Structure 1
Amino acid sequence: MTLQPYPPASRDDLVEELHGTPVSDPYRWLEDPDDPATKDWLTAQEKLLSAEMGALPGRDGFKSRITELLRSGSIGAPVWRGERQFFMRRTPEQEHAVLYTVDPDGTERALLDPMTLDPTGLTTLDAWQPDKEGRLLAYQVSVGGDEESSLYLMDIAFGDRIEGPIDRCRYSPVAWLPGGESFYYVRRLPSTEVPDGEEQFHRRVYLHRVGTSTEEDVLIFGDGLEKTNYYGVGVSRDGRWLQISASRGTAPRNDLWLADLSASAASSPDLVVVQEGVDAQSGLQFGRDGRLYVFTDRDAPRARICVTDPSTPQFENWRDLIPQDPEAVLSDFAILDDLDRPVMLIGWTRHAISEISVHDLVTGERLGEVPTPGVGTIGGISERPEGGHEAWFGYTDNTTPPSIQRYDARTGETSLWAASPGAVEVPAVNTERMTYRSADGTEIHMLVISKPGVEGPRPTVLYGYGGFGLSMTPGYSASILSWVEQGGTYAIAQLRGGGEEGEEWHRAGMLANKQNVFDDLHAAAEHLIATRVTTASRLAISGGSNGGLLVGAALTQRPELYAAVVCSAPLLDMIRYELFGLGATWNVEYGTVEKPDEFAWLHAYSPYHNVREGVSYPATLFTVFQSDTRVHPLHAWKMCAALQYAQASDRPILLRNEVEAGHGARAVSKTIELAADQLTFLAYHTGLTQ
């Protein structure tokens, strides 16, 4: 296939000296989406993409199969408040999941359907929280993928919107007080009260009284603290205890405060320090038995659960209930206390595979295990607010659409509570759990998914993330199944920087250790080649967001190792990343150019600054979203221009720039179109034929 000429892009002689190092930035003009030159360049890139993708075979087949597999729909775990039940479900025909409620008389009805709110499909339901009595619902929606949530209140019985919008509520928790008359929430300061460029920051905790103007909201917490702080807020089931947490950006640590609302007013809580200035993460849950349960990785990087009295919540009073496990990571817990012998259920991940154990609530003694459907991923474990003997959890694996399982502690049995509503024919696959050694000898785990009976080197996609403590666990994926069904192999590496092995594993891939993540990916590729799973000419890599940084670094560090790359919503200019989107909240993960040593780390691997003219780079498809307010698409725009200029081979460098879409949730039809383009591109450039 003959590649059309790349759109012209002027190269400016812009060089800045940072900490004594000259740093060039020839495509800085592409940072301005409103510049006519940027608009013209994006239009030309769109035409090039259309021409190149239109010439590739197999897209209709991928699109059709992905569509079929996504007809499984989805189902969410139930939440009980008062006499009502709430859950999310997406049927095969729906673009978005719908929030349903089951009324006291057993009638099920749709409570919030994003397509009813907006038939264009551009509105997403970002979060929801019923009050403690199940009478009012706080919910948050955003439009066009911008994730700029507005908060509304609904009367659940009648389905009427009674308040809103309350803007600037992105990522806001909602903590109701008993009676449904007021709640705590988090809101950013108005743009008129913050410096230019800092409109995404400066959050505060407020108390809002239902039926009053937000102008009357009471400022509770956050004034004068770090501008990039995120705040958590929660109120115990009985309404007595308020907890507030604060973390600087995405830092893996938090400060934590507690107030007894029976001894101080909700509008002026007397907050007591639980944890402050400590390099650890902790959270609190108030038991119906009067005890305070602490979920923490303090002195326990794989996490543990401690117990204390709420009146003495500080660290020196914590007592281990569930100690740290030497191998598994403690991920979740639930309390079932309507039993002769109350128990605690503990969720674990062992090399990213989920399991649940049962423990005596008083002593922590291990009593047994919860049966699970298979080797896969378990979602959050939930119980009724008033206690009971039942728990619910989500389950999925590589061939199983999401389901909700019910565990009965009286019988020790697990049963299917609700399956995804659509019936689909899922292809048979083999999932192999591999281990390999990275450059420094560290053992890394990897899942390798393939079609039964397929042997010899095959077109392979290697996927990774390696950041922010997020774990790569098995899950139902229409894209992966479509690829494997055609005879390809899909590998998912559990790189350092993730959470698969606990907080130490995360920190081994952040800040000064970030190169470990890239080395782990290269070693995964070399292992797949050495074991004849694939060859360099048939190996692709794929990643998004922080995973986009991963594959961007990989293609610049080891271009000969990969045939094709899909780089989605990536960070790529690591010198200026803090200036755009939510970048300033991530310098606790990556580092800041303001400090000489941290600048050196960033400059050493920043993909945009490591593009070299005359190198034969892999075929690369950048997929970005113009409404992305987390990672600005300018990263991919600049990198695309740089690679198009530098490319020494005829392998294409393409940009897919999608409007009215963002970093997170989207309509199913948009997901299908994106996935079909990505798989078609990868298939052609790795030799996978349909």
Structure 2
Amino acid sequence: MCRVRALVVGLLLSSAAPILAGTMPDLTYPEARREQIVETQFGEVIADPYRWLEGDVRHSPEVAEWVREENAVTERYMAGLPQRERFAERIRHFMDYERFGLPVKAGGNYFYTRNAGLQNQAQLFVRKGLSGEPRLLLDPNAWAADGATALDAWEPSHKGNFLLYSVQDGGTDWRILRILDVKSGKPLADEIRWAKFTGLAWVGEEGFLYSRFPAPEEGTAFQGRNFDQAVYFHRIGTSQSQDELVYSTPDHPEYGHTADVTHDGRLAVVTSHVGTDARYEVRVIDLARRKREGWKAVPLVTGFTDDWKLVEGSGRRLWYVTNWEAPRYRLVAIDLDTPRPAWTQVVSERQDILERAGIVGDRLVLNYMRDAASHAEILSLDGKTGRTISLAGIGTASGFRGRPGDPETFYAFTSFNCPASIYRMDLATGATTPFATPKICYDAKDYAVEQRFYVSKDGTRVPMFIVRKQAIARADKAVPTLLYGYGGFDVSLTPGFSAVRMAWLEAGGAFALANLRGGGEYGREWHDAGRGRNKQNVFDDFIAAGEFLKKEGITTNDGLAIQGGSNGGLLVGAVVNQRPDLFAAAVAQVGVMDMLRFDRFTAGRYWVDDYGHPDREADFKVLRAYSPYHNIREGADYPAILVTTADTDDRVVPGHSFKYTAALQHAELGDKPRLIRIETRAGHGSGKPTDKAIEEGADILAFVARWTGLELAQGTSGAQNREEAPVERP
């Protein structure tokens, strides 16, 4: 939240008396005008009194004033929480370590990101060879005074002469594409606007493929719906107006398209989608024939029925990971030079989920997931012989990027109790050596990471990770617990490090992560069981997780808090309405709260794959039954609720959170607070500067601690200035 406010807000903060521990602050919520908007949908009368709060804060003075007033109330409340500054200090402490991104090799150069610790944004470096001297290429910290302009994606050209990168300003989903001359370190004049949800794919050293939408009409850039995405080719040294249209579907403006290029530069692959579902069509462009045939896209996969993840290409042979006739995925290949090209199976479907694959050197590297944790294997190109990559403990492995002919690959390993370490693997010998191992100021062994399974309402077995101090786990002591969930869009929640969570764990709390249906942890069936008309299963799974934590004595009876973001914010809003008695506190972040109008803004139209169509009666009845905004239970005793969003979020527009909060504050729901924290220039979350992340994390933890009874003594640190490498994780 921006700490520099109008004078009236500054006066409110300076004159506010501290809130004493255990007391209830005097909260007076801002007055939110109620409109008489009533519509009849499929025979049901739907009131929407706060529709005016859907207005863009940039263009609506009334919405902007409401935002200022709400932030003033929330800031005053947070300033009075006795643990807030201590949590901020501890989060900052746990963030203050050197961290690296996975290196990418091109033309003998290694490109990678590095954050010295508390920099708002990671910097991009290059070095010649593994032992070369690092050279700074890009420093996003110099791009904006508030640190809110971020380096997003980046990709070196095949020979490493150029670096293509995207810039994200203020958290928006829109991207600006730029090019850097690697040798001189100087930017080129090229600039691409209105790119969104785009890949970055070099075509030799001459230019690149990218995806963009038409320039939006004035005043609609951050709320208008996105249609007519197309793939373009930009040639270095030319203006965007000269870019060549590569692929589009004007007869189907709802389709989206992205492009990749195989590492040998022979084939461009255009992947098309119709929503958020992993159901794609694939077309291939032979770049060797481009002068003769132009951008001729030949269909390879049609029908939007299955997931197709490009692994690699060599000549006119392609490898894919797919769930076609294999719900848990398999590896297949096709040779386009055969008279009648057909898919052949390389690695069959297994019980574990095949998440991704790569071809590095003359080996296949396969990344699997079992019960939401990672393991990996190296196989011969025919998929018959190989070995398992040794990964210690429960964690997440990522990376394994490379290209045919490379002698090496890099991967990262992280878990709840240790930040990511980067490793280099020699493909010929299997030997693994550290590339970048952060030094941390605590002992990872002091924290226990375990996985348990619980039974949901309908008997489904659901996995859950539980993290606590070892001493708490050994004593089997019930402590305030923060339960996190998502449950949607085929997204798998796997172990990962968070400085905010570490501050909570250090203070003596427990953290639990439930792998709800709707995610991708067990493939297509798991996803299908938690979307559309099955969405209630997700809420049942989350409620059952909370009941399990209480029954097993992990959390205290009045010490359970829940948290979720985006689709997880919807989850929090829905289960609070359904079981307000179960939770002491709830944090709903950038949530989808109005399920009857989500498809009318920006990318919301894509989400019908998971949620259904509000304008279809059968779907409407399901959505109406759980929509957080429409199901607040007047007269019920609700937990303490903190809603967070950003006034510049153009993924889940902030109107969702604004309307939901206004409705919460209007209703009689008991004495606990219902607050909203509205960040400036932060968007949906990606690219958020370190300073803002620390402030937000401290507010959330202090709020949750206040209402779950977690006591944070001033002397608590859990650190003795030790500098130890984390345990190796996948």
Band of TM-score, shorter chain: over 0.9
SS in 1 for 2:558: helix
Q: Tell me, yes or no, if the aligned pair for 2:266 and 2:316 is still in contact at 8 Å.
A: no
2:464 matched to which residue of 1?
446
2:550 to 529, 535, 547: 529
Deviations 1:536-580 (A, max 9, x none): 421100011110000010101111111100111111011111112
AA at the equivalent of 1:260: D
1:292 matched to which residue of 2?
318
Q: Tell me, yes or no, if the aligned pair for 1:468 and 1:497 is still in contact at 8 Å.
A: yes
AA at the equivalent of 1:345: V
Instruction: Return the alpha-carbon distance in structure 2 between the equivalents of residues 76 and 156 of structure 1.
Output: 18
AA at the equivalent of 1:381: F
Shift of residue 614, structure 1, vs aligned partner: 1.1
1:330 matched to which residue of 2?
354
Deviations 1:606-633 (A, max 9, x none): 0000012211111000111111110111
1:343 to 348, 363, 368: 363
Q: Tell me, yes or no, if the aligned pair for 1:566 and 1:620 is still in contact at 8 Å.
A: yes
1:563 to 564, 569, 584: 584
Shift of residue 208, structure 1, vs aligned partner: 1.4
2:512 to 491, 508, 511: 491
Distance 1:552 1:261, change over 3 A: same
Query: 1:259 and 2:285 equivalent?
Result: yes
2:700 to 667, 678, 682: 678
1:50 to 27, 52, 75: 75
1:134 matched to which residue of 2?
160
1:513 matched to which residue of 2?
534
Shift of residue 194, structure 1, vs aligned partner: 13
2:603 matched to which residue of 1?
582
Instruction: Return the alpha-carbon distance in structure 1 between the equivalents of residues 60 and 285 of structure 2.
Output: 51
AA at the equivalent of 2:379: H
Q: Tell me, yes or no, if the aligned pair for 1:370 and 1:414 is still in contact at 8 Å.
A: no
SS in 2 for 1:457: coil
Q: Which moved more, 1:122-131 or 1:265-274?
A: 265-274
Query: 1:389 and 2:407 equivalent?
Result: yes
SS in 1 for 2:409: strand
Instruction: Return the alpha-carbon distance in structure 2 between the equivalents of residues 240 and 193 of structure 1.
Output: 40
Instruction: Return the alpha-carbon distance in structure 2 between the equivalents of residues 19 and 631 of structure 1.
Output: 26
Summarize the alignment of residues 295-310 of structure 1 with structure 2, pairs less than 5 Å apart: 295-310=321-336
TM-score w.r.t. the length of structure 2 is 0.90
Instruction: Return the alpha-carbon distance in structure 1 between the equivalents of residues 505 and 49 of structure 2.
Output: 40
Q: Tell me, yes or no, if the aligned pair for 2:190 and 2:236 is still in contact at 8 Å.
A: no
AA at the equivalent of 2:412: G
Deviations 1:126-147 (A, max 9, x none): 1111111111111110211123
AA at the equivalent of 1:654: L
AA at the equivalent of 2:562: I
Unaligned stretches of 5+ residues in structure 1: none
2:397 to 378, 389, 392: 378
Q: Tell me, yes or no, if the aligned pair for 1:372 and 1:414 is still in contact at 8 Å.
A: no
Q: Tell me, yes or no, if the aligned pair for 1:128 and 1:140 is still in contact at 8 Å.
A: yes
AA at the equivalent of 2:277: A
Query: 1:75 and 2:100 equivalent?
Result: yes
SS in 2 for 1:168: strand
SS in 1 for 2:400: coil
Shift of residue 335, structure 1, vs aligned partner: 2.2
1:177 to 192, 200, 203: 203
Deviations 1:160-180 (A, max 9, x none): 1112331101222121112x1
AA at the equivalent of 1:335: I
Summarize the alignment of residues 87-126 of structure 1 with structure 2, pairs less than 5 Å apart: 87-103=112-128, 106-126=132-152
Q: Tell me, yes or no, if the aligned pair for 1:70 and 1:92 is still in contact at 8 Å.
A: yes
Summarize the alignment of residues 262-661 of structure 1 with structure 2, pairs less than 5 Å apart: 262-265=288-291, 268-288=294-314, 291-311=317-337, 317-326=342-351, 328-337=352-361, 342-362=362-382, 364-383=383-402, 385-420=403-438, 422-426=439-443, 428-454=446-472, 455-661=476-682
Distance 1:6 1:38, change over 3 A: same
AA at the equivalent of 2:635: G
Shift of residue 189, structure 1, vs aligned partner: 1.2
AA at the equivalent of 1:417: F
Instruction: Return the alpha-carbon distance in structure 2 between the equivalents of residues 48 and 325 of structure 1.
Output: 53
Q: Tell me, yes or no, if the aligned pair for 1:371 and 1:413 is still in contact at 8 Å.
A: no
Deviations 1:457-483 (A, max 9, x none): 211111001111111111111111111
Shift of residue 303, structure 1, vs aligned partner: 0.9
The runs of at least 4 consecutive aligned structure 1 residues that moved more than 4 Å come to 192-199, 287-290
May I ask how many residue pairs the two structures share in their alignment? Answer: 680
Q: Tell me, yes or no, if the aligned pair for 1:336 and 1:389 is still in contact at 8 Å.
A: yes
Deviations 1:301-340 (A, max 9, x none): 11110122133598x71111111112x1101222243xxx
CA RMSD of aligned residues (A): 2.1
Deviations 1:419-457 (A, max 9, x none): 23x543256211121101111111100001111222332
2:232 matched to which residue of 1?
206
Instruction: Return the alpha-carbon distance in structure 1 between the equivalents of residues 557 and 337 of structure 2.
Output: 61
SS in 2 for 1:167: strand
Unaligned stretches of 5+ residues in structure 2: 1-22, 713-730
Shift of residue 225, structure 1, vs aligned partner: 4.5
Q: Tell me, yes or no, if the aligned pair for 2:566 and 2:590 is still in contact at 8 Å.
A: yes
Q: Tell me, yes or no, if the aligned pair for 1:184 and 1:233 is still in contact at 8 Å.
A: yes
Instruction: Return the alpha-carbon distance in structure 2 between the equivalents of residues 27 and 123 of structure 1.
Output: 32
Q: Indicate the percent of aligned positions where both proteins have the same amino acid.
A: 37
Q: Tell me, yes or no, if the aligned pair for 2:283 and 2:297 is still in contact at 8 Å.
A: yes
Instruction: Return the alpha-carbon distance in structure 1 between the equivalents of residues 250 and 230 of structure 2.
Output: 10
Shift of residue 12, structure 1, vs aligned partner: 2.6
1:187 matched to which residue of 2?
212
Instruction: Return the alpha-carbon distance in structure 2 between the equivalents of residues 85 and 501 of structure 1.
Output: 35
Distance 1:39 1:190, change over 3 A: closer
TM-score w.r.t. the length of structure 1 is 0.95
AA at the equivalent of 1:435: F
Deviations 1:623-650 (A, max 9, x none): 1111111011111111111111213311
AA at the equivalent of 2:74: L
Instruction: Return the alpha-carbon distance in structure 1 between the equivalents of residues 189 and 329 of structure 2.
Output: 40
Instruction: Return the alpha-carbon distance in structure 2 between the equivalents of residues 193 and 616 of structure 1.
Output: 45
Shift of residue 675, structure 1, vs aligned partner: 0.3
Distance 1:309 1:653, change over 3 A: same
SS in 1 for 2:291: coil
Shift of residue 358, structure 1, vs aligned partner: 2.1
Q: Tell me, yes or no, if the aligned pair for 2:562 and 2:583 is still in contact at 8 Å.
A: yes
1:158 matched to which residue of 2?
184
Q: Tell me, yes or no, if the aligned pair for 1:564 and 1:619 is still in contact at 8 Å.
A: yes
Instruction: Return the alpha-carbon distance in structure 1 between the equivalents of residues 148 and 293 of structure 2.
Output: 37
Instruction: Return the alpha-carbon distance in structure 2 between the equivalents of residues 509 and 587 of structure 1.
Output: 13
Distance 1:313 1:320, change over 3 A: farther
